[in-house]
Structure 1
Amino acid sequence: MTQALTSAVPSADALDTPLAVDILADHEQKGLLRFLTCGSVDDGKSTLIGRLLHDTKKVFEDQVAALRKDSARFGTQGEELDFALLVDGLEAEREQGITIDVAYRFFATEERKFIVADTPGHEQYTRNMATGASTADLAVILIDARKGVLPQTRRHSFIVSLLGIRHVVVAVNKMDIVGYAQETFAAIEADYRAFAEGFGFESIEVIPMAAITGENLTRRAPSMSWYEGPTLLEHLETVRIDADAVNGPFRMPVQWVNRPNLDFRGYAGTIVSGSVRPGDSIAVAASGRLATVARIATMGGDLEEATAGDAVTLTLAEEIDISRGDVLCPPDQRPEVADRLSAHVIWMGDEPLVPGRRYAVKVGKRLTSALVTRIVHGIDVNTLQEDAAETLSLNEIGFCELALATPVAFDPYEVNRDTGAFVLIDPLSNQTVGAGMIWRSLRKADNIHRQAFDIDRGARSELTGQKPRVLWFTGLSGAGKSTIANLVEQKLHEKGRLTFLLDGDNVRHGLNRDLGFSEEDRVENIRRVGEVAKLFTDAGLIVLVSFISPFRSDRKLARDLFKGDEFVEIHVDTPLSVAEDRDPKGLYRKARAGEIRNFTGIDSPYEPPESPELHLDTVHRSAEELAEDVIRHLKL
C-alpha cells in the first residue's frame, strides 16, 4: 500500500524535472467540465461516480482495500465491490444506502478535467440538489431501466432547467437487469424527450448503461451492440459547452478595493463574463460613472487581456467612486439596475418564507436588505403545476417579487448565471435560507439607467460648507420626536446650517397619502422617506427625519442608503405609559377603544434600536437639553 501511494504521488524533486513541468502545464491547459448526477433513490448515482473514479485510475490501492472492507460491511453487491461507497462518505448514507449530502469529486482524463457533484434523490433534499446544480455545466440524470421516467425525474429535470443547465445526459441505468432490451431503452428515451421539450435544453444525450459493470460508462458494451452512440465518458470528454461567459459582455463584480499604499488603488474581483483590455472604457453599473482601464494587475504580472474566470485587479486612469459590490461593465452594455425584482426562489430554510419578513440578500458581491413582497405562485416540482401559495416551506419553489433596500446591478439569470443569482440570508442566524434566480426587474421600462452628473454631493457639500447628514429620530407616538427635531433644526439654522425636516404626519398628507398602516405599507412608507432623505443629502443638506419607524429592519433599510457616519439613529426613549399619559393627539385613547388599528405600542410592536448613535431619555431630561445633546454629537 505504501508503495502504491509512493508511486502515485510524485516527490518534490520529481516535480522539478522538465517532464513533470510539461505534464503540469498540459494539465493546466485542459478544459474543465462541472457536472452533477441526480435521479431517484437507488438509480445508481453514487455507483456511477465510483465506477468513473475507479476506471479512470483515480483510486489508490489503499482506497480499494478500504472499499473492499466497506463493501463487506455496508455493500449491496454481495462479494463484489460496491463502488457507491467511494462517494457515500456519511455514516448515515452508508447505513441507509442513500445519498444525503452533496459529494464533490475530482478526476481527469487525457482530454478534460472534471468536477462531479453527487446529489440526493429524496425530495426532502431538493436544496442539496440545487446546491450541486448551481455551478454545473451539465447534468447526468439517471433513470432505472426497470422503472422508467418517474415524478422525481421530472422534478430533477425542472430544477436543472431552472438553474440554467442546458446540457443533459439521460443515463438509463441497470440495463443488465432488463436483459439489455432495446425496446425498453427506446420507450424510456421517447418518454423523456417528449416531456423535456419545454425545458430549453440545448442538448440531450440518452445512453443505455450498466454502471455496476461499467458497460457504456467507460467502455463499450457488446451486450448493447444496437446502441451506436458514445459512452458516457466519451460524451463528457467531447461535449461542447458554449463559451457564453467568454463571449458575453464584460462583467466584474468588485470584491475588494485594493489599496496597499497611497500610490496604488485597484479594484479586485473575478471576471464572470466577457473580457477587458487596458485602454477599454468601463462604467460602474449603478452610478454610471465612466473610467478607462489603465492596468490589469495579477500576482504573476500585468496582463494584456483578461477574460471570464480570471481573478484580477484593475487600475483606472480616472479616480471615481467604486466600492465592494459594484459591477464594472462596458458603457454601452450595462446590466439592469433595480430595487424591485421578480425571481424564482428555492426555499432552504426550516422556517417557512412568509411575505413581509425581512432578509439579507446577496447579489454577486453586493449585500443589502430585502423584503419578499409577494409570492406570485408556488410550483409543484413533481407536476410542474403553478399553484397559489401564501408561504414556501423547506425545499419548495415559488415565483416571488422582492423589494430591496438598495438597487443592485444584475442580468436575468437565463442570460448570466453569475450576475443573475442571489441568496437570501436570515439576519438573526446568518444562515442561508433561500436561493434565487432573477427573472426581471419590476418596472414598466427596461431602458432606464442611472445618469451620471459632474456636480455631485461632494461638490454641493463643499459649496454649503457642511457635511450632509441624516438625523433619524425614532420612538413611540408622543415620545417627543418632532419637538426635539424642531429644536435641533432651530439650533442648526442659527448656526447657518442648511436643513430640512421630514415629519411622519406631514409626509403622510402628501408623498405617502396613499399608504395605510399594514406591514407592507409601513415598509413602503420608510422606503420612500429614506429615498427622499437621500436626495436631500445629495443636495448637501442636513436632514432631520421624525418617524415612529417601529421596525429595526425598516430602519436598517434606510441606513443602508447612506455611507459611514452619514446616518445618525436617535432613539427618543419614552416608556409606553408616559407616552400614553401625554397622548397629545388623543391617538392612544382611540387605539384602546379599537378605533385605530395597527397602532404602535397597542396592537403593533415597537422594536427599540439596539445600538443607536444617540439615546435620548425624555423622562428625566427636558427637550432643550436633549436637543443640545444632538448638536454636541454633530460636533459643529
Structure 2
Amino acid sequence: MSTDILRFATAGSVDDGKSTLIGRLLYDSKSIFEDQLDSVERTSRTRGEEQTNLALLTDGLRAEREQGITIDVAYRYFATPRRTFIIADTPGHIQYTRNMVTGASNSDLAVVLVDARKGLQEQSRRHAFLATLLQVPHLVLAINKMDLVDYSQQRFEEIKEEFSAFATKLDVTDLTFIPISALHGDNVVDRSLNMPWYEGPSLLHHLEHVHIASDRNLKDVRFPVQYVIRPHKADDPELHDFRGYAGQVAGGVLKPGDEVMHLPSGLTTHIDAIITADGDVQEAFSPMSVTLRLADDIDISRGDMICRPNNKPHAAQDIDAMLCWMSEGRKLTPRSKLVIKHTTRTAKVMVRDILYRLDVNTLHRDEDVSELVLNEIGRVNLRVTQPLFVDEYQRNRLTGGFILIDEGTNTTVAAGMVTQAN
C-alpha cells in the first residue's frame, strides 16, 4: 500500500473553524497523544464547555495572536495507513498574506474553509486566488458549520454556485466541494448521517485518495547542482578519482545511460550512475535527492544545471515575475538592488520596473504604481547579473520559483514566480 506524502495548506477567515477542523482530523485519525487529549479535555471542562474543544489542540499560537505578534506558518503532521500528511496551517488575516504564500508554495492541495452561515467572504476569495497563483494543483472548498444551517442542501448549493462563478476567473485545475461540521465531525473523517443528500467522500477520504503523482513535471529533466563531491581518499583507489554531483531532482526522470547536457557550458555527456544514501538506483525523479556520476569530466559547479540536450530551460537575465513582497522594513521600488536565489544559484538582481500591483480581493490590476509594500503582490521586470536557468512557474514550480534577499540584512524580502523569461 502506498504511503506517499501529501502536503496541504489550510486557509480561511479567522473564525471559520480551521483549528477545530485540524483538531478533528488529528483526533479522529488517532494522531494525538493521550496526555494531549487529557489536557484539552481538562481545559474544556474548566471553561465550562459541554464537549471537548478540539481547536485547543492547535491553538498554541493563540497567545501570540492576542499579543499581536507576527504569526508564522504552523506545520503539523499526521498519518493514516494510506498516506502521511503535512499540514501548513496558515493565518487568516490579510496582513498575513505572506504567510499564506509561504505555506501554500510547496503544497499539493489547499483546503479553504467557508462558514456556511456567512458564505463567501473577501478572505475566502483571496485565499483561493493565492492558491491558484501559486499553482497548487488541487483546491477543496470545505463548507463548515453545516450544523448551524440545519445541514441545508440548499445553502451548500448556493455557496457552491457562487464560488464556481468566481473560480471561472481563476486557473483552477481540480476543485472539490465538501460540506462539513468540524465541531461534530460530519464528513471530516467519516461520512455524515446528517447529510444523506451529499454523495461525495469525506474530507479525509478525499485527502487520502487525491491523485498527486501526475502533478509533478516528469517531462522536463531539471537537475540543479547543489554540491560537487570529491572525497580525495588516496588510500582508496576507487574513491580517488570519484566526482559526483549532488542535488534534488526538480523535474523529469533520470536514468543511467541517459544523454544529458550541462548548462552553462552546453557540453553533453551520459549518466554513469545514480547514487542515493541507500545505494545505486535505476531511476530518479522529483523530489528525490541523489548524486549523479557522469561519463565525462566536465567543469561543473554549484548553481549549474543538468538537463536534456533537446529540452533546455531558458537561460535568462531578463525575467518577468509575480512577486509577493514580504518585508516590513523596506519597500520595493524600481532600481532596487537585491540578491536572487533560484534553485541552487545565487546572483545579484535589479528591479527594472513594477508593471502593476494586483488587488488580491478584486483581481483588479493597478498599473499606476511606484512601489510594493508588505503583503502586496505585483508583476515586476527583473534584470539579473548572470543567466538563471528558469522555466515558467506554471510549467515547473521548482525551476520557476525564487526568493529575493536583502543583501544588507540577509532577510528574505520577496517570493517570486517566473511568468516570462528572455
TM interval, shorter chain, is over 0.9
Is 1:80 matched up with 2:59?
no
Which residue in the other structure is 1:203 paired with? 174
Deviation per residue, 1:31-53 (Å, 9 max, x gap): 21111110111111111111100
Which ranges of structure 1 fall in alignment gaps of 5 or more residues?
A: 1-25, 444-636
Is 1:426 matched up with 2:409?
no
Residue 381 (structure 1) shift: 0.7
Residue 91 (structure 1) shift: 4.8
Distance 2:376 2:282 in 1: 46
Q: Which of residues 335, 351, 354 in structure 1 aligns to 2:333?
A: 354
Q: Is the 8 A contact 1:88 1:99 kept in 2?
A: no
Residue 72 (structure 1) shift: 5.1
Q: Is the 8 A contact 1:337 1:410 kept in 2?
A: yes
Which residue in the other structure is 2:4 paired with? 31
Distance 2:387 2:49 in 1: 59
Q: How does 1:391-406 map to 2 (within 5 A)?
A: 391-406=371-386
Distance 1:90 1:208 in 2: 27
Q: Given residue 133 of structure 1, which amino acid in structure 2 is its aligned partner?
A: A
What SS does the aligned partner of 2:148 have?
coil
Which residue in the other structure is 1:520 paired with? none
Q: Given residue 403 of structure 1, which amino acid in structure 2 is its aligned partner?
A: R
Which residue in the other structure is 1:565 paired with? none
Q: Is the 8 A contact 2:217 2:396 kept in 1?
A: no
Residue 96 (structure 1) shift: 7.5
Which residue in the other structure is 2:200 paired with? 229
97 and 343 in structure 1: CA distance in 2 versus 1, 3 angstrom threshold: closer
Which residue in the other structure is 1:435 paired with? 415
Instruction: Calculate the TM-score normalised by the size of structure 2.
Output: 0.94
Distance 2:378 2:321 in 1: 8
Distance 2:15 2:386 in 1: 46
Distance 1:303 1:237 in 2: 28
Which residue in the other structure is 1:150 paired with? 121
Which residue in the other structure is 1:623 paired with? none
Residue 97 (structure 1) shift: 11
Residue 62 (structure 1) shift: 0.3
Q: How does 1:123-202 map to 2 (within 5 A)?
A: 123-202=94-173
Is 1:310 matched up with 2:282?
no
What SS does the aligned partner of 1:177 have?
helix
Residue 67 (structure 1) shift: 1.6
Which residue in the other structure is 1:345 paired with? 323
Q: Is the 8 A contact 1:41 1:98 kept in 2?
A: no
365 and 72 in structure 1: CA distance in 2 versus 1, 3 angstrom threshold: farther
Q: Which of residues 261, 275, 290 in structure 1 aligns to 2:253?
A: 275
Distance 1:216 1:311 in 2: 37
Q: Which of residues 278, 300, 307 in structure 2 aligns to 1:329?
A: 307
Distance 1:45 1:101 in 2: 15
Distance 2:52 2:65 in 1: 14
Task: Quote the RMSD (CA, aligned, Å).
Answer: 1.8
Residue 95 (structure 1) shift: 4.5
Q: How many residues align?
A: 413
Distance 2:167 2:412 in 1: 31
Distance 1:143 1:97 in 2: 24
Residue 246 (structure 1) shift: 5.3
Which residue in the other structure is 1:365 paired with? 344
Distance 2:68 2:156 in 1: 26
What SS does the aligned partner of 2:398 have?
coil
Deviation per residue, 1:320-368 (Å, 9 max, x gap): 1211011111111111111110000000001111111111100001001
Which residue in the other structure is 1:496 paired with? none
What SS does the aligned partner of 2:37 have?
helix
Q: Is the 8 A contact 1:127 1:395 kept in 2?
A: yes
Q: Is the 8 A contact 2:13 2:92 kept in 1?
A: yes
Structure of larger gyration radius:
1
Distance 1:105 1:270 in 2: 24
Which ranges of structure 2 fall in alignment gaps of 5 or more residues?
A: 233-239
Which residue in the other structure is 1:384 paired with? 363
What SS does the aligned partner of 2:404 have?
strand
Deviation per residue, 1:509-550 (Å, 9 max, x gap): xxxxxxxxxxxxxxxxxxxxxxxxxxxxxxxxxxxxxxxxxx
Q: Given residue 193 of structure 1, which amino acid in structure 2 is its aligned partner?
A: S
Which residue in the other structure is 1:100 paired with? 71
Distance 1:131 1:58 in 2: 25
Deviation per residue, 1:4-38 (Å, 9 max, x gap): xxxxxxxxxxxxxxxxxxxxxx6xx4121111110
72 and 424 in structure 1: CA distance in 2 versus 1, 3 angstrom threshold: farther
Q: Given residue 27 of structure 2, which amino acid in structure 1 is its aligned partner?
A: H
Larger RCO: Structure 1 or Structure 2 (Cα < 8 Å, ≥ 6 residues apart)?
Answer: 2
Residue 305 (structure 1) shift: 1.7
Distance 2:371 2:163 in 1: 31
Is 1:62 matched up with 2:66?
no
Q: Is the 8 A contact 2:313 2:389 kept in 1?
A: yes
Q: Given residue 307 of structure 1, which amino acid in structure 2 is its aligned partner?
A: F
Residue 80 (structure 1) shift: 2.2
Q: Is the 8 A contact 2:137 2:215 kept in 1?
A: no
Distance 2:45 2:71 in 1: 21
Distance 2:293 2:34 in 1: 50
Distance 1:78 1:395 in 2: 37
Distance 2:156 2:68 in 1: 26
Which residue in the other structure is 1:264 paired with? 242
Q: Is the 8 A contact 2:65 2:71 kept in 1?
A: no
Which residue in the other structure is 1:408 paired with? 388
**How many percent of aligned residue pairs carry the same amino acid?**
49
318 and 254 in structure 1: CA distance in 2 versus 1, 3 angstrom threshold: same
400 and 99 in structure 1: CA distance in 2 versus 1, 3 angstrom threshold: closer
Q: Is the 8 A contact 2:77 2:86 kept in 1?
A: yes
414 and 246 in structure 1: CA distance in 2 versus 1, 3 angstrom threshold: closer
Q: Given residue 248 of structure 2, which amino acid in structure 1 is its aligned partner?
A: T
Residue 138 (structure 1) shift: 0.6
Q: Is the 8 A contact 2:218 2:285 kept in 1?
A: no
Higher helix share: 1
Distance 2:358 2:420 in 1: 18
Q: Is the 8 A contact 1:286 1:408 kept in 2?
A: no
Q: How does 1:436-515 map to 2 (within 5 A)?
A: 436-441=416-421, 443=422
Higher strand share: 2
246 and 358 in structure 1: CA distance in 2 versus 1, 3 angstrom threshold: closer
171 and 96 in structure 1: CA distance in 2 versus 1, 3 angstrom threshold: farther
Deviation per residue, 1:552-608 (Å, 9 max, x gap): xxxxxxxxxxxxxxxxxxxxxxxxxxxxxxxxxxxxxxxxxxxxxxxxxxxxxxxxx
